[in-house]
Amino acid sequence: MKESEQLLKLRRREMVEMLQQYGIANRRVLDAFFEVPRHLFFDEDAKELAYNDAAYPIGFGQTISQPYTVAYMTSLLVERCPSGKVLEIGTGSGYQAAILDVLGYSVFTVERIFELYERAEKLFSRLELDIACRFGDGTLGWMDEAPFDGMVITAGAPKEPESLLEQLAGNGCIVIPIGGSYSQQMTVIRRSGNDFKKEVFQQFSFVPLVGKEGWNDTVF
């Protein structure tokens, strides 16, 4: 292994230790964070920054979420819905989708910015990740592939999109940040038949979920 690769691996181990110190305890999640080389989701000249606990711009006004945020959302999902078919809304760099793939989920992801969708799809294919990726408005879900056992929404929503609730499997759950345009409360919505129960967790700050059942795109 080249020296630079070894250094990145060491940085990845440090990132996993930092996640543990911040309270991420799920072993499966921590192992997935060690397995996925986060720097591959960064431009070549920025890969040294990949293991800092920070969000980073990926172009078009969007970001790759900070590792803690991705680990927090993934833990909420894994603890309630350990396997099955998962829909991610907001492909962005593709990192969250790769983490879900390594965890053994069957992953479907939707991105509304064409250039990001195209870049992520090429990367998935180069890394030989079996992730289904689609360009479109994810607030409407992915009807042809429903129902989903789990959903992870990686952009801040004003409220839960009806279409996503409809496409959730009987015992499924959605992890979604809900709130205003600057800060949102991480929320888990669990379905039991036609009943939906909500649990709320800590505050985060996400880019907006823009779409027919999200924020209006004339505002952003």
Which chain residues interact with ligand SAM by CB under 6 A? Answer: 62-65, 89-90, 92-93, 95-96, 110-113, 116, 137-139, 154-155, 206-207, 209-211, 214
Cα distance between residue 87 and residue 145, in whole Å: 9
CA distance 108 to 220: 26
Q: Which is nearer to ligand SAM, 69 or 81 (CB)?
A: 69
Q: Report the nearest approach of ligand SAM to the CB of residue 190 (Å).
A: 22
In angstroms, what CA-CA distances link 91 with 144, 154, 196, 216? 18, 8, 25, 19
What H or E segment, with its residue span, contains residue 28? helix 27-35
Residue 113 CB, nearest approach to ligand SAM (Å): 4
CB of 47 to ligand SAM, least distance (A): 15
For 69, phi and psi rounded to 5 degrees?
-65, -45
- Position of minimal CB gap to ligand SAM: 90
Look at residues 206, 196, 146 and name the one whose alpha carbon lies nearest to residue 173: 196
Name the burial class of residue 147, with classes exposed (0-12), middle (13-18) and buried (19+) by CB atoms within 10 angstroms of its CB.
middle
Least separation in angstroms between CB 3 and ligand SAM: 28
121 vs 137 by CB, closer to ligand SAM: 137
Residue whose entry in the numeric block shows the structure tokens 């970001």: 63
Residue 138 or 179: the one with the smaller Cβ distance to ligand SAM is 138
Residue 194 or 202: which CB sits closer to ligand SAM? Answer: 202
| Minimum CB–partner distance for residue 20 and ligand SAM (Å) | 20
Catalytic entry in 65, 75, 93, 163: 65
65 flagged as catalytic: yes
* Residue 15 near residue 38 (C-beta atoms within 8 A): yes
Nearer to ligand SAM, 176 or 210 (CB): 210
Phi-psi group of 73: left, alpha or beta (phi > 0 → left; psi -120 to 50 → alpha; rest → beta): alpha
Give the residue numbers annotated as catalytic, written as ranges: 65
